Structure 1
Amino acid sequence: MIARADIDRLLAEDVPAGDLTTDALGIGDRPGRMVFTARGDMVLAGVDVAARMMDGLVVSLHARDGDRLSGGAPILDARGSAADLHRAWKAAQTLLEVLSGIASATRAVVDAAAPVPVATTRKTVPGVRALSQRAVRAGGGILHRHGLSETILVFPEHRLFLAGESLAEIAARLRRTQPEKALAVEVGTIDEAAEAAVAGFDLVQLEKFTPEAVAALVARLPAGDRRARLAAAGGIDPGNAAAYVAAGADLLVTSWPYTARPRDVAVRFFAG
C-alpha cells in the first residue's frame, strides 16, 4: 500500500504552490472530464495509485494492474472541476506510463523464462522503490529483495572482511546467528558456485554467468542431490532468459525492467 503522504508528495512535486495557469485563466471551478486510454500494447501498472492522486474527482476505473491492454483500451475517466483535473493530469499520466513500462518489460522476461520465476533486484531509482516493485508484481515478476533488512545475501564484498573463512564456515556462522532465515551467496566462478552449492546455502547467485557456464555448473553438481537453488543474475533480458532456463537455472534475477521505456497513455479532456 502506498501511503497517503507519498501520494501527496507526488502531487506536490508538480503543484508545489497551486496551478498558476489555471488560476490565472479563472477556469478552476468549471466542470470537465478527462479520459485515459492506452496508446499501444502494454501491461498496465499503477492505476490505483493514479486514481488516489485524483482528489476531488469522481474516478471510474476500466482496467486493473496486470491487465494486458491494446491501443485504444480505456484505463480510467475522471470528472470534476478544471482545477482538480489539471492538478492530477500530468503526474498521474506520467506515473502510469513509467510503471506500465516496467510492468510490460517484466512480463516480457516472465513470458520468455516460463515456467522459471523472474525476480527483480533492489536496484530501483532511489525514492520510488515501492512504486517500481508494484509494477514488477503487475508484470508477473517477484521481488528478489525489498532491501537489506529482511534477507541474507552474502556478497564477495562481505567476504573480504571475514579473514579467509570458507563458504561452509560462513554458512554455519549464519545458521547460528539467523537460524530462521534462508541463506544466499553471490559467486563469480564455477568453482565458487560448486563449493557454495554444498556449503549449506539455500540459494547460489551466479553473477554474470553465461548460459554455457550455468550449464557447466549444473553438469558438475551431483544429480538429484542438490539442496541449493541456482539463481542466474546479471544481464538477464527477454532475449536470453530462455537460454538460462534451458541451462538449468532455478531462478532468474534481473534489474532490466527498471530501465524500460515508458508506455504511452493518451489523455483527452472534455468541458462540461
Structure 2
Amino acid sequence: MNPYTLPDAELDRLLGEDVPSGDATTAALAIGECRGRLDFRARFDMVVCGSEEAQRMGELRGLQAVGPRLASGSRAAAGTLLLSLEGRAAALHVVWKTAQTLMEYLSGIATATADIVAAARQGDPDCAVVCTRKNFPGTKAAAVKAVLAGGATPHRLSLSETLLVFAEHRAFLDEAPADSVRRLRRQWPERSLVVEVADEAEALRWAAAGADILQLEKWPVDAVDRIARQIPGTRIAAAGGINATNAAAYARAGSRILVTSAPYFAGPRDVAVSLSAS
C-alpha cells in the first residue's frame, strides 16, 4: 500500500537540514566521486513506512534505486531488504541518515497502528481505528501516511473539515442540545456531527438531540458497553488511552470507532544500513 509520497520540496528541506553547507567529512577525504551502494534492511519485524520517500531522496541527489523496494504498508521480517541505492559517495552520505531516520520513525508509527488495528478487529471485525491530530507539529503529512500504512485512518485532518463539539465549545453556548444540532446541520449539512460527552446523562441527551457519533473520553469499558446498548442507533467512538492492550475490549463493548494518539508516541523501528564501495 502506498497512500502518497511527500512532495519533493519537503524532502529537499529535510535533506537540507542535515547538510546546510555541504558534507565536511566526505569533502575533506575527497571521496565524493567514488561509487557505492546503500542498503536499508529491517533490523526487527515491522510494518514499513517511508521507503518511497527514502528512494525519492536518493533520486533527488542523483542516486538510482537498484532492485525491488518494499512499499509502505508491507510487513517486513527482521533482515528484509527494504531499499538499495547506488551512485556517488557524496550523495550516498547526504541521503543516508535522513532517509534511515525517516523510515525508522514512520515505521514505528505504522507498526504501532497495525498492532492496535489487529487487536480491535479481534474484538469486532468491523471496528475502525482512527488516529488523532496529536502528531508532533510540522509532521502531519508524514504521520498520516504512517497511520494509513498501518491500516487506520485519520480522526481529524484539521479543524477545518470536521464537526466535533467539545465541552470547551459548549461552555460558550446557552441553548438546548437540539438547537445546537439544528444550527450545525444548517451550516454544515454534509458533515457527520460528533459530540464528546463526559457521562451517561450527557450521552443520552446528545443522542436524543440527533448527534451522529458520541465520543466517550476515558470511559471504562463497562460504561461504554452500557451506553452502547441504550442507544444502538448512535455510533460510539471510544477515546483516551486506547492502545493494543485494550482495543479488543472496547470493540467488544460496542465502540465501532476507536480514537487513539498512541501510535505517535511509539518507538522507532530500527533500520540497519550498510554502505559499501562498488
| Contact 2:51–2:69 (8 Å) recurs in 1 | no
1:231 to 2:241 alignment: no
**SS state of the match for residue 197, structure 1?**
helix
Partner of 1:213: 223
Fraction of identical pairs, as percent:
51
Task: Measure how far apart 1:63 and its partner are.
Answer: 0.8
TM-score, with normalisation over the residues of structure 2?
A: 0.94
Partner amino acid for 1:187? V
- Report the secondary structure of 2:274's partner residue: strand
Residue among 160, 163, 172 paired with 1:152 = 163
Residue 19 of structure 2 corresponds to 15
Off by >2 Å, runs of 4+ in structure 1 = none
SS across alignment from 2:209? coil
The reply on whether 1:131 has 2:142 as its aligned counterpart is yes
One-letter code of the match for 1:132?
A: A
Alignment root-mean-square deviation, CA: 1.0
Partner Cα separation in structure 2 for residue 88 and residue 68 of structure 1? 24
- 2:50 counterpart of 1:39: no
1:140 and 2:147 are equivalent in the alignment: no
| 1:62 partner letter | R
Deviations 1:82-123 (A, max 9, x none): 000000000000000000000000000000001211000001
- Unpaired segments of 5 or more residues in structure 1? none
How far the C-alpha of 1:162 sits from its partner, in A, is: 1.1
Alignment of 1:1-272 (within 5 A): 1-54=5-58, 55=60, 56-60=62-66, 61-114=68-121, 115=125, 116-163=127-174, 165-221=175-231, 223=232, 226=233, 228-272=234-278
Q: Distance in 2 between matches of 1:52 and 1:194?
A: 51
How many angstroms apart in 2 are the aligned matches of 1:72 and 1:3? 29
Q: 2:239 & 2:114 partners in 1: Cα distance?
A: 17
Distance in structure 2 (CA, Å) of the matches to 1:130 and 1:210: 32
1:188 CA displacement: 1.2
Read off the aligned partner of 1:21 and give its amino acid letter: T
Q: Note if contact 2:225-2:253 (Cα within 8 Å) is conserved in structure 1.
A: yes
The unaligned stretches of length 5 or more in structure 2 are none
